[in-house]
Amino acid sequence: MLIAANWKMYKAPAEAAEFCVRLRDQHLDGVNVVVCPPFVSLAVVVQLLAGTEIGVAAQNAHWEPEGPFTGEISPPMLRELGVYGVIVGHSERRQYFGETDELVGKRARGALAAGLFVIGCIGETETEREQGRTEEVLRRQISVFEPDDNLVIAYEPVWAIGTGKTATPELAQDAHALIKSVLDVPVLYGGSVKPDNAVSLLTQSHVDGALVGGASLDLDSFTSICRAAARIPS
């Protein structure tokens, strides 16, 4: 079971450091934990979590190892920093920065080629679900990924991100089953995961963990989700 904390554009280095000092004192046996801070906080988080079992991932990466790409960060740069993995294709990248399926696929392939672990995000909007297009959208988004031992998919229904809405466990189970029928990789659920709904979501047989957003910003909330995951039989 993998629980990943996506801090988004929160926690500059000082706040990130305070969080990690407390996080490394927690006993989170029985679950794989990854923290995904903003770029400016990666170095301090890598330093403070060194020697623990907690991985550190970036929230994005360019597909080229280097080049004239102002404002971008390459996978080898992340590796040199001590970063373990990267999120690609988050719905906020797609929504606010115009990232296409093709770009997401390129980012994933570049990161995997550099030896990074990749969390590839997919998910339908509320309009797409209401139009009955969920399967079409998920199949299209999955098509840019290729099976890899270092790839997991995060299913994050866009209508459930930061809205307080959450897919029912049954909806999550169905979507994850569809994804796995197309691509044989672990699938995380992302979309307003909180301590009070984590168990019902994570006990679904096709759910292999969670990509946690807002609830990962509070230590007690995040560790509660991690401990709930640890108690679920594998």
Which positions are annotated as active-site residues? Answer: 90, 156
Residue recorded with tokens 């796995």:
180
- Angstrom distance (rounded) from CA 121 to CA 90: 5
Q: Give yes or no for a contact between 56 and 84, defined as CB atoms under 8 angstroms apart.
A: yes
- Angstrom distance (rounded) from CA 226 to CA 162: 20
